[in-house]
Structure 1
């Protein structure tokens, strides 16, 4: 049983190949970032974006801000702290969702070329007290996924902040070439934490093992694959490779459709990422008895036949 679990862990982990080198090839010079910095009350800073920043350069841009700040101040911030202090950035990222853009009559073939931070935008670096407040909020944030309900919720303590539709693993076994074995595709329940982020993933078809670079959307249009972070979980102390990641086909949400991962739409994936830094707690459960939004008790379909 242990060997089988390890094999499944190894297989699911390689479904998405992390292209770490692509994150480090492009170095964004500091002059690209800081055109003007003003100090307020000796601790809070405002950074004015000096030129438009596209998604393909977005993470390098933020990393250079964080590195520069942390090398000159008595307290440290992180990418998640910086963005959580500037929630408009999350909104800007979420609005690059292909289907949101189409609703505005804009067809996006290559999402990586979209401008996410416009020239002249202000990024506020939190002072030490604001940073501590954000750290406390992050520490008390956790993720809840109920498999048969097809829902992912984000809580701070007992307060629900967000609720998103998801897709989960199919109730079947299938031979997948990447694992070279028959694999159980069901999403695995349990308690755990977030252990890794894949900021620029490569995409592979697990059935054939072939890498792919474009995707057919629900409207039958073909586009390049977007750059949106994938989130790796550790459940019950094991890294199954069970990821939280966006799907380019939201028509598959609210269904048992995936190879075990938890799929979201593109906009929601950005929000989840910024509320799920490393070590964020996650609970994946299989509860059929739930209460709906108006307080009525419901029994969900037993999609895994337990």
Structure 2
């Protein structure tokens, strides 16, 4: 009797045999895909209605003019935007505001995170207290600081007068610096929390090894902590730039864009064009230009941030 035939073992390193999926497997895969898209459909509908449709509407209106944006104007609104001195002023003010708030949020937020990451008594209370302004409405923050900084009736001037110190008129002499300071007071608690999360995600073994090698506190911060915080810093900077370019409430409530346009933030200027001058086509063009600036700034930041990421 002949021995039963056996299958020869596959040669070492040979690729595994290709298994063709049958009709049942393909049908099951198709069901998985359809089910996944059905679950994603509400999110797609939400973004389409609340994000992409308004952008398309603004883009369409940017080529029109008139109080109702019902007359076709071609590229006239965009040409006018680049020639408008008031637009250039508001964009410059917004750029300075955005850079100042972004750098301040990163530096102060990181410093507070490093401080409150130590084993200090009451650090949880301080963390919560610093986060409260961020959780408060911009309208409330604006009204609060407008009353505090009011030259005649403000609380700050009363305290300074009681202490025998000269009173201030910061809303007239340094209006942009004032709203930058108010914005930082409002947002550094959020950036502090983000940096705290990043710091607590760094393995302690790296610092212990550097300490054994004789590295000092500054060397450990510069060579270990800061590079490993690159993803957090990138996220903070992107969000701060977007928030700074879209700031509105600070100028609208605290300074009214003045004095002499020194706090005329871009979105506040667009608001005045749309609802004071009733030029919705021109306001749409200005809004779409800001959208392009934000997209370009975000892409540049993300690409630069990915090049700076380090892994240990």
Common fold by TM > 0.5: no
* Normalised-by-shorter TM-score class: under 0.3
Which structure has more helix as a fraction of its residues? Answer: 2
Which of the two has higher C-alpha Rg?
2
TM-score by length of 2: 0.22
Structure with larger RCO (C-alpha < 8 A, sep 6+): 2
Which structure has more strand as a fraction of its residues? Answer: 1
TM-score by length of 1: 0.23
